[in-house]
Each structure stands twice: as structure tokens, then as C-alpha cells.
Chains A and B, each alone.
Chain A
Amino acid sequence: MSDPILTLDAIATDIAQYHILKGVGFQVPRGQVTMLLGRNGVGKTTTMRTIMGLLRNKSGQIRFDGQEIGALPASARARAGIGYVPEDMGIFTDLTVEENMHLAAVSGAPDQARLDWLFSVFPPLKTFWRTSAGNLSGGQKQMLSIARAMIEERRLYLIDEPTKGLAPAIVATMVGALRDLKRQGASILLVEQNFAVARALGDKVVVMDDGHVTWEGDMGELATDTGLQERLMGLSMEAG
């Protein structure tokens, strides 16, 4: 197998005076979906923000496609090919859906074929194209946030809880979109609390607890072992 697209090595990140990440290390293989799982508050979002460069790691290494990126600002990491869907979606509510998408296409005007594909996956984006994004429903905002990351081909997608608080029909839309992306050979690091969704999409699993990685392995192994699930992630994980 080829070298991983992303390698974290002993990452430590503080927020204010708190030590949140205490030596996180794992790899994200190319062309696969890697699930980052764990209870609430264990440091999943902090890990994502550290990879993106919105938080600085005080020690450890972040290697992206063979290059050490730990010293680069977030904008340079984005330009290097990392697409980010934050937990709070990061929608610019004062801008229209169209303006949000144009801003996300950093290398020029959005590609029409790719836009058409995104419209077919997320029809509301087409319907509300010229409307203020602040008026979208929660599900539509999440669609916009993911579409924004997908408007250009990225070498790695960081997606933080894309189904949080969404109605089942919209969750299904999200899963369909991520499946499409996976089928195109994208490398994805995905945080997901809904285990059914995680199982449907994940190839590899990384489990965190209290600022550490506590387990790394195949989804197949975790999916069949409810005892292991219980032990690693406790009761907050909803099976089914």
C-alpha cells in the first residue's frame, strides 16, 4: 500500500491553559474513509482544528502528503489541498449560497460540471442559490458546508459531525453524498457520533479518549464486536 496521505505523530495541543491533546498519533490512508470516534469532549474537534491549522500544536508532527505542515498557516494548508467541514458548519450567513460557494472555489470560478453534480446531490442548494445562507434550515446549511468543501477536488477532506442534529431523511442525503465522494477515490477523515452512519462509510477507525488515541483498526473488526464498542466508546454511542 502507498504511504498515508496524513500522518499525525505525538500531537499535543493546548487551549488556553488546558492540555487538550496529549500526544495524538494516527495515520489516514489514501482513498479511504477514516473514522475518528470517541465520547463527547475527548478531543476530536480539537484534532481536526489542529490538522487544519486553526489551533497550533505545541509539539509533535503533522505530515500531509509527505510534507511537514505544522508551521504553515491554515490558509496554506487549505491551498495544499485540505478541505474542511467544521462542526459548527462555518457558514457565512450574511452571504448568499452562491457567494459561499464562490468563496470556496479558491482557484477561480467554480467548475460547472462539479457544480451540477453538487446540485444533483444537494438539490436545495440550487433552489436557494441566490438566497442569504442565514435563511437556510440546519440541514441545508450542512449541505452547503459539505458542498463548499467539495466544490474543488481536495487531497484530503476533514469532516466534523456532518449528521449532527439532522432529520433522518437529510442524514441519508449526507451519507449518499459522502459515498459518492468516497467512490471517486477521496481520502476522508470523518468524525461521526451516529454509529450506523460510521459503519456505513468507514474503512478504518481511530478511537480517542481524553486526548489520546486508544484504539486503531478496521471498521469490520469494530462493527462486529459490541463488547469492544462498549469498552472504547461507552454508552454515548448509539448502536443501530
Chain B
Amino acid sequence: MMSAAPDHSPTFARLTLIDRLGRAAPYLLVPVLVVLGFLAIGAPTSWLTLTVSGLAMGMMIFIMASGLTLVFGLMDIINFGHGAFISLGAFVGVSVLFALPGWTDAASLPLNIAAILLAILAAMVLTGALSWVFERVIIRPVYGSHLKQILITVGALIVLEEAIHVIWGGEEIFLIRPSELRGAITFAGAALEKYRILAVVLGLAIFFALRVVLRRTKIGLIVRAGVENPDMVEALGYRLKLVFIGVFIAGSALAGLGGVMWALYEQVITAGMGENMMVLIFIVVIIGGLGSVEGAFVGALLVGLLQNYVAFLEPKLALISNIALMTAILLWRPEGMMRVAKGH
């Protein structure tokens, strides 16, 4: 009797299959939306252009949302200051690009990309460092109270935007992309902007890098476990607060990175650009499921694609399309597509 292992295997096998389908379902929504877009748009070249544009936009939204969802999931912190890190990253990155005219104007793709990478590096270092201070001064006193978090981080957002005005002036700043990333290539008759292709490649690289860290490293395990049951992670011997600070800094640095990419996409920057993105970012975090990086990835791609398709088909509906998407997904899965089961 002692050694008799319980025989649960049959039930178990069925569960796994359903479970697997359930997990894959959100990913399948992306190709489904792409096919629906094709059917609705009809013209293959327009559809291809819009799809690449939507994916590029989605990748950038994902980069900006990935840190926020982890901070939210891990410590239950709502941080509107995230928007300021996006703007700040953009201004720092653009300043670096302006300082390197020799690299950005050169007819050399490697030199152009090197300039962008340097701009990204500077933006990430600065936003990362600032977020370390931000966590201590702004976030730490308001653990456990959402209302206080919203009030104080919105306040911090406004202060940081004003600081940008003081440093860089109150006007919007226009920029042009490095020379080899201007214009489009023609593929299968469709015009595909070069920069959008770069944004897709960069976004995918960051998504897979984050996935590897979360799935293959101990720190990633701690973060995933902490999203589900922070007390138990502490009881196993890990100081979750320290891990959280690391995640907060990394997430803010990713916001800075996203800011640089968004600046090059829009070719104009303002102090309020990050704040303007926050609505879309929150939609992505919510439909993805709080704390789920993969959910944010799928959610961001859906938002980016839908926005582009609808803007082409029926421009008047572009604004409400994302709200409609959020409503539909929350009706299907009230906790978001990939919400992590919450322990206590």
C-alpha cells in the first residue's frame, strides 16, 4: 500500500492536451487576424505593407509594455512613470544620434545601425539608472496602495516631462532616420519601409532574449514564481525585493529602448510621447494577462496589426478598435490571455 503510486495518468494526459491547446490559443490569434486582414483588405500589396507596419508597431509596443507587465505582476505596482522613461529614452537617444552626424549620414548600413545601437545603449543606461532612484524615492513608500501609486507616479510623470522641457526646450524635435534606413524596399510588389523591418527584427530579438532569460535562468525562474506566489519564493530563501528592483530597472531600460525606436518610427519626439503611449501599453498589459511577457507580446502584435488594418479600412474606427479588442478578449478570458494563476 505504501509504495502504490496513485494512477492518475489517463486524466492527466487529457488535461495536458486541453491545457496545451489553451496555452497555444492566444498565439493562434495573430495568424488568424493576419488572414482576416487579408480577406478584408483584398489587395495583397496593401495588405503586406500594412501587416509589416502593424508588426513593427506591435514589436515596439511590446518592448515598452514588457517591463511594465513584470513590475505589475511581480509587486502589484501600477507605475504611470513608465511613460516618462519612454520619453526620456527617446530624447537621450535622439541627442546621441544628433551628436553622430558622421555615422547617421554615411551611406553605410553598419555605421547607421551602430549609431542606433549607441543611442539605444545611452538611453537604456540613463533610464535604468534613473529608475533605480525612482524606485527608492517614488515607489517604495507606496507599496500596497494602488491609489497612492497612481497619484504619486502620475505626479512623477508630470515632473519628469517638465524636466525634459527644461533640458531640451518646449518644442517638438524632428529627426530623420539614418541614411540607409530611409525609404522602402519593394517586395512582391509591396513597399516595405526599411526601418519597419529593422524594428520587427529588433523586437523579435528582444522577445526571444527575454524568453530565454525567463525560461532558462534561475533569476527568470524566480521572477516567474514570484509573479504567482511571492511569499513562497521568499520562504524558499530568495530576497524578492532585490529581484524586483532588478526587474524594475530592466523594465525601465526597456521603456527607454522602446522610446528610441518609437522616435525613429515617428520621426518626431515630444515630452508627452510616452504618456500618449500609456493607454495602448496598458491595454496590452491587461489583455496579455498581468505579469505575462508572452501575453504582452501577443497582445502588442494584435493591437499593432488591428490598428493598421482598421486605419486603412475605416479610419474613423481606428480609435475604438483597440477598445473593442480589449472588450472581446476580456469577455473570452477575464484575466487576460495568459494570466498567471495567482497564489497568495
**Given A84-B235, A128-B12, also A92-B224 (CB < 8 A):** yes
Q: Is A137 an interface residue (CB 8 A)?
A: yes
Cβ of A19 within 8 Å of any chain B Cβ, yes or no, is no
A103 CA to B237 CA, complexed, in Å: 9
Q: Which of B3-11, B51-59, B83-91, B262-270 contacts A (4 or more CB under 8 A)?
A: B3-11
Given contact pairs A78-B234, A86-B232, A88-B343, A124 touches B16 in the complex (Cβ within 8 A): no
Total contacting residues, chain A, CB less than 8 A: 39
Q: Kindly specify which of A21-29, A59-67, A170-178 makes contact with the partner chain.
A: A170-178
Bound-state CA distance A131–B16 (Å) is 9
Residues of B within 8 Å of A169, CB to CB, are 1, 4, 6
8 closest A-B pairs (Cβ-Cβ)? A78-B237, A90-B232, A74-B234, A106-B237, A123-B5, A92-B225, A84-B235, A79-B237
16 further interface pairs, Cβ-Cβ under 8 Å (given A95-B225, A137-B8) = A52-B235, A54-B235, A75-B238, A78-B237, A84-B235, A86-B232, A90-B232, A92-B228, A92-B229, A92-B343, A94-B340, A102-B218, A106-B238, A131-B12, A131-B16, A137-B6
Any B CB within 8 A of the CB of A167: yes
Q: How many residues of B contact A (CB 8 A)?
A: 34
Interchain CB contact under 8 A, A75 and B234: yes
Q: A90-B343, A95-B225, A135-B12 are in contact. Are A124 and B5 (CB under 8 A)?
A: yes
Do A73 and B225 form a contact, CB below 8 Å, given A124-B8, A132-B19, A172-B2? no
> Counting CB contacts under 8 A, is A139 at the interface?
yes
- Enumerate chain A residues within 8 angstroms of B231, measured Cβ to Cβ: 54, 74, 90
Chain B residues, Cβ within 8 Å of A132: 19
Q: Complex formed: what's the CA distance from A202 to B218 in Å?
A: 37
**Chain A residues closer than 8 Å to B117, beta-carbon distance:** none
Q: Find chain A residues with CB under 8 A from B154 CB.
A: none
Instruction: Please report which residues of chain B, range 1-38, place their CB below 8 angstroms from some CB of chain A when the two chains form the complex.
Output: 1-2, 4-6, 8-9, 11-12, 15-16, 19
